[in-house]
């Protein structure tokens, strides 16, 4: 099979390509990635066989015209993925996540309705009240909170509409927060680990009571594989990693303990606007496709901490960029006070 993976130099996309080629060595993967600040070519530097990297934009119709005639399956990861950056520059998220997905769908339709798997997020469902134990599921109405989740919600609607209107063979996964090797240090878990390595405080937004479900990235890859191989066309599958969610403050304390540091490293800072909470039920993918996560939060965090402790050359320059972004965001917030 010939796959086009978009955004394959980012966190989940690069883990997915590595996972897929190790399990399907006779398949051929083309990785189309624009190489934004979030990409790192080193992620796949050791992958040589049945793999081609193309630097380019999912909005580039002429480029898609060259790639798609030889494609059986598109696995669409490419996106702007960071909520805090979507507060700073929402339009970029509309361009990449909405127009980019639309452009890719149109190209998939043009070349004989290519099978299209769309990677989305549980953030499209909105927010669960702080005192509730409710969970999102495939039938939860969409109610996004941030420009990021609004752009992902829009892209999901276009994917489903192309399925219904044009018969494009689509599937969607809406997963919870991923973590693991190769995640950009702008995101909470790698930011915490690298701050602790640097002897810096961990900035916890608000009171740290917001909660999320955490999914180890390899478990996400196996869920996508299950949906590609056994999922029903036109369907959505929610993917999560835990049975119970974790409040941010508890997660932070777990990482501090794993790294042998003190809770004094925690610093409570101004909250994120429209800060949301999510918990996701993965009953459907378990019952219908027999998928379940293999890592516990403890085992996944240990692997992740070990990886960042031994890969400083991978994360150092990305961290410098991420912290410069956060400084700019804080300066802007202070200006508005």
Catalytic site positions: 122-123, 148
Q: Residue 100's binding partner, choosing from ligand NAD, ligand TDX, none, with beta-carbon cut-off 5 to 8 A by kind?
A: ligand NAD
Strands 73-76 and 51-55: unpaired
Q: Is 90 in the site for ligand TDX (CB under 6 A)?
A: no
CA distance linking residue 37 with residue 146, whole number of Å: 21
Nearer to ligand NAD, 119 or 265 (CB): 119
Q: Residue 118's binding partner, choosing from ligand NAD, ligand TDX, none, with beta-carbon cut-off 5 to 8 A by kind?
A: none
Q: Is 35 in the site for ligand NAD (CB under 6 A)?
A: yes
CA distance linking residue 62 with residue 231, whole number of Å: 31
Q: Is 57 in the site for ligand NAD (CB under 6 A)?
A: yes
Q: Is 184 in the site for ligand NAD (CB under 6 A)?
A: yes
CA distance linking residue 212 with residue 298, whole number of Å: 15
Site for ligand TDX in 99-158 (CB under 6 A): 121, 123
Q: Is 188 in the site for ligand TDX (CB under 6 A)?
A: yes
Nearer to ligand TDX, 24 or 95 (CB): 95
Strands 211-212 and 246-247: antiparallel
SS3 per-residue string spanning 227-267: HHHHCCCCCEEEECCCCCCEEHHHHHHHHHHHCCCCHHHEE
What number of chain residues touch ligand TDX (CB under 6 A)? 16
Q: Is 96 in the site for ligand TDX (CB under 6 A)?
A: no
* Residue listed under structure tokens 């990635």: 33
Q: Binding string to ligand TDX for residues 163 to 182, with x set by CB under 6 A, is what?
A: --------------x-----
Q: Which residues contact 95 (CB under 8 A, 6 or more apart)?
A: 59
Contact 27, 2 (CB under 8 A): yes
Report the interface residues with ligand TDX, using CB under 6 A. 81-83, 121, 123, 177, 187-188, 191, 203-205, 210, 212, 248, 272
């Amino acid at each position: 099979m010939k796959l086009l993976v978009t955004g394959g130099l980012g966190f989940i996309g690069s883990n997915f390509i590595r996972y897929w080629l190790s399990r399907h060595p006779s398949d051929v993967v083309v990785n189309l990635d624009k190489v934004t600040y979030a990409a790192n070519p080193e992620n796949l530097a050791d992958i040589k066989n049945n793999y081609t990297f193309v630097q380019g934009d999912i909005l580039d119709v002429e480029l898609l015209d060259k790639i798609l005639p030889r494609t059986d399956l598109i696995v669409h990861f490419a996106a702007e993925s960071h909520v805090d950056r979507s507060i700073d520059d929402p339009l970029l998220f509309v361009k990449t996540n909405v127009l980019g997905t639309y452009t890719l769908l149109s190209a998939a339709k043009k070349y004989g309705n290519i099978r299209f798997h769309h990677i989305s997020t549980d953030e499209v469902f909105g927010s669960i009240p702080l005192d509730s134990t409710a969970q999102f599921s495939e039938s939860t109405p969409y109610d996004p909170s941030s420009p990021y989740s609004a752009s992902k919600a829009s892209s999901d609607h276009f994917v489903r509409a192309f399925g219904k209107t044009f018969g494009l063979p689509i599937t969607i996964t809406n997963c919870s927060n991923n973590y693991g090797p190769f995640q950009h240090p702008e995101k909470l878990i790698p930011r915490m680990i690298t701050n602790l390595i640097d002897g810096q405080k961990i900035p916890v937004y608000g009171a740290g009571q917001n909660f999320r479900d955490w999914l180890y990235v390899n478990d996400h890859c196996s869920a996508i594989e299950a949906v590609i191989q056994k999922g029903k066309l036109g369907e959505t599958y929610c993917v999560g990693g835990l049975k119970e969610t974790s409040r941010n403050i508890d997660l932070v304390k777990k990482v501090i303990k794993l790294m042998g540091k003190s809770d004094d490293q925690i610093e409570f800072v101004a909250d994120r606007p429209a800060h949301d909470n999510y918990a996701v039920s993965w009953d459907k993918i378990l019952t219908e496709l027999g998928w379940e996560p293999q890592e516990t939060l403890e085992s996944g965090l240990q692997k992740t901490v070990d990886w960042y402790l031994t890969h400083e050359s991978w994360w150092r320059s990305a961290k410098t960029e991420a912290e410069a972004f956060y400084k700019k965001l804080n300066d802007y917030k202070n200006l508005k006070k």
